[in-house]
Amino acid sequence: MTLLVVSYLAGVLTIVSPCILPILPFVFARAGTSFLRGVLPMLAGMAVTFAAVATLAAVGGNWAVHANDVGRAAALVLLALFGLTLLSPSLAARVSAPAVALGDRLSRGVEDGGAGIGGSLLLGMATGLLWAPCAGPILGVILTGAALKGASVETTLLLAAYAAGAATSLGLAMLAGGRVLGLMKRALGVGERVRQGLGIAVLAGVAVIALGLDTTLLARLSYASTAGIEQSLLDRFGRTPSGEPSRLASAGATIVADGRTEPYRSSLPVEGTLPSLGGAVSWLNSAPLSAEALRGKVVLVDFWTYSCINCIRTLPYIRAWADKYKDQGLVVIGVHSPEFAFEKKLDNVKEAVRDFGITYPVAVDSDFNIWRAFGNNYWPALYVVDAEGRIRYHQFGEGGYARSERVIQDLLAEAAGKPRAEGALVAPRAAGIQAAPDLAGMGSRETYVGYEQATGFASPEGVGADRPRDYTPGAPRLNQWSLAGNWTVGAERAVLDTPDGGIVYRFSARDLNLVLGPGEASRPVRFRVSVDGAAPGADHGADVGPDGEGTVSETRLYQLVRQSGPVRERRFEIRFLDPGAEAYAFTFG
């Protein structure tokens, strides 16, 4: 019940998010109609359709994604016709009289309030197919839980609550907008001009959605505006059931820039007690540790997994804190909870710990026992525990480093029984893949290749799940990707079956990373990267040379592109010269 309320409130917040802007013209075009016959059916159609489509997209696999793409295309055509009839009914009729008749029927209520319930409901359903709200922490947790646990009544109810919250705020805005439109028409006699203005706004909204700007540029603008509020709601009113992991960069976590001033509370609340650390399949760099043995120490617990780019970029700070404060009583514990199957292999984890220079204890939590004991939901997630075994602070997602370190200093001073001294903060020099992201230029988000969570797939053949298929790259648009060659696409990865296959991705970010593996045979796989059809040159990543040449020798995250100049939209392609390559997920920085 609590999460239903939180989901509803998160939906209400979308009205202040810039990424809702493309939807507003469709909604305000009904502002002059009867609320019961015009406004309410449209909002209900939008909410129900969004909840249904989002549920299918989360749990239905690739077929649901493609079905929704078809529905979105139909909705764009319908709403474009609707906008044409508002702009100039006579002109639209001359262009395509039969097709525009439907849009004209939907638009009549703008002038006289007489639109039928059916027309308003259809318009709302079309809007629901297009509505892609910025993925804040709450919506991200709901969708991730749905993908992991399958279809359920709970998932649909949570999505419906989210959509109902958005419909509530939109309904209130429409009531106010209707009065404004009415006053303009009566006082100024500009009814036809208002109608034409709404038509232009509707067509502009269609263009923004068709070009994908609603989920790239506008999503970036709204990223910080509501995500912090949503995270506060989650923290205040409770979390989702345990065992629902969420990588926060794709779910909309708040990433705090280090230079920002944050208020410091000297009296930290008690959030719980340090649970059992039992159940790890192995411990690295240490004998097994227990909650009882750690009493008297301040403990920092970091949940991570070695292919997670957000976790990787946090590691320089974790290592620096472990070195700086170990003699003052701080114990750092990394809890490695895997996302992909290959991350469950102990030898892979050992190699990653060595490669990242981690010397503090690491609990290999491949069965998620420690994860569930904490009720954790995120990668990365930090928990700071005081000397009495009480959890006093948490940080979900990247960032917040200054705040986290101040908490460590405070609890160390508390354990020593003396006031906290204002000491200098660590400033680790992170290079390569561990460097901080360029948030201002990041217009692409984490994209999975396996059909279970894949989005943005653009090969015209469509995905043939769990069987070999020949693919052609097509023409991906921004934040779309495609395969070339013969691939077998599985639930969490795609495997190249023959030599000379590739992947194309059109992206906008400073860094492009891709989780790759050499396949079950573990033979090295040679590859060649190109950017906009040429060798990357100065834009090459840490795992590829300026000529674009590289080799997949182990399963991990590979940095393939780092733009050296201003960030702009680019066409990335990787061609594998040998068979067996495995591709899991794209991430960006």
> What tens digit of pLDDT does each residue of 496-527 get?
999 999 999 999 999 999 999 998 888 999 99
* 561/513 Cα distance (integer angstroms): 7
* 551/85 Cα distance (integer angstroms): 56
Backbone angles phi, psi at 300, to 5 degrees: -110, 120
More confident residue, 182 or 258: 182
pLDDT at 56: 62
- Decide: residue 141, CB within 10 A, 0-12 exposed, 13-18 middle, 19+ buried: buried
Q: Of the ranges 44-53, 242-251, 261-270, 408-417, which one carries the lowest mean pLDDT score?
A: 242-251
Backbone angles phi, psi at 556, to 5 degrees: -170, -175
CATH number of 439-588: 2.60.120.260
The H or E element containing residue 487 is strand 481-489
Q: How many helices (H) and strands (E) does the chain have?
A: 16, 20
pLDDT at 219: 42
What is the token pair recorded at 112? 């006289």
**pLDDT above 70 (res 535):** yes
Query: Cis peptide before 380, with omega less than 30 degrees from 0?
Result: yes
pLDDT at 585: 95
* 66/82 Cα distance (integer angstroms): 24
| C-alpha distances in Å from residue 581, one per residue of 16, 407, 516 | 44, 44, 7
**pLDDT above 50 (res 118):** yes
Distance from the first to the final alpha carbon of the chain: 36
Q: Of the ranges 16-30, 59-73, 124-138, 170-184, which one carries the lowest mean pLDDT score?
A: 59-73
Other CB atoms within 10 A of residue 388 CB: 14
What integer best gives the mean pLDDT of the chain? Answer: 77
Q: Binning pLDDT at 50, 70 and 90, where does residue 251 land?
A: very low
Predicted confidence (pLDDT) per residue in 178-202, tens digit: 555 455 445 544 445 555 665 676 6
Average pLDDT, stretch 261-265? 38
Predicted confidence (pLDDT) per residue in 537-574, tens digit: 999 999 999 999 999 999 999 999 999 999 999 999 99
| C-alpha distances in Å from residue 171, one per residue of 4, 24, 35, 46, 78 | 20, 11, 9, 12, 22
| C-alpha distances in Å from residue 265, one per residue of 26, 237, 392, 407, 414 | 45, 20, 11, 9, 13
What does the domain layout of the chain look like in residue ranges?
Answer: 2-232, 246-433, 439-588
pLDDT at 239: 44
Q: Of the ranges 91-105, 307-321, 469-483, which one carries the lowest mean pLDDT score?
A: 91-105
Average pLDDT, stretch 475-484? 95
537's torsion region: left (phi>0), alpha (psi -120 to 50) or beta? left
pLDDT at 142: 54
| C-alpha distances in Å from residue 417, one per residue of 383, 387, 410, 413, 420 | 22, 11, 10, 6, 9
The domain made up of 246-433 has a fold known as: Glutaredoxin (3.40.30)
Secondary structure class of 245 (helix, strand, coil): coil
Side-chain-side CA neighbours of 511 within 13 Å: the count stands at: 26
**pTM for this model (two decimals):** 0.59
Q: What percent of the chain has pLDDT over 70?
A: 62
